[in-house]
Amino acid sequence: MATKGLRRVPLAGLPAGMEKIVDALNDSAGVTVDTAVPATANAEFSLRHELGRKAREVQLVSQDQAGTLYRSSVFRWTRNLVYLRYSAPGGRIVVRVR
């Protein structure tokens, strides 16, 4: 399940151009997703996120066993999906998508 990094609050009456700055700050926080990894090490899996645009990067925030997170099939990333691989079998990871 994805959660927003910052809660988006509509702001009224901002000076011209300020909304773009607020949107940029919200986008820089990204979304955090807690997910299970495949039972087979290094198997590609998709991760659904609610970023609303194509992701620029992923960051491993936490893991319940030692392993390395790899980007995979970057050309297939969409507004809602990224493709990843994890070097250890099974377990859970938390990933930040930006």
**Alpha helices (H) along 7-92:** 18-29
In a domain, 47, yes or no: yes
In a domain, 90, yes or no: yes
User: What rounded mean pLDDT belongs to the chain?
Assistant: 86
In a domain, 41, yes or no: yes
Residue 94, both tokens? 């938390």
Q: How many domains does the chain have?
A: 1
| pLDDT band at residue 42 using 50, 70 and 90 as cut-offs | very high
In a domain, 55, yes or no: yes
Is the pTM higher than 0.85? The answer reads: no
Domain range holding 37?
2-7+31-97
* Tokens 């297939």, residue located: 76
In a domain, 40, yes or no: yes
The tens digit of pLDDT for each residue in 60-95 reads 999 999 999 999 999 999 999 999 999 999 999 999
In a domain, 56, yes or no: yes
Q: How many residues does the chain have?
A: 98
Relative to beta strand 2-4, strand 31-36 is: antiparallel
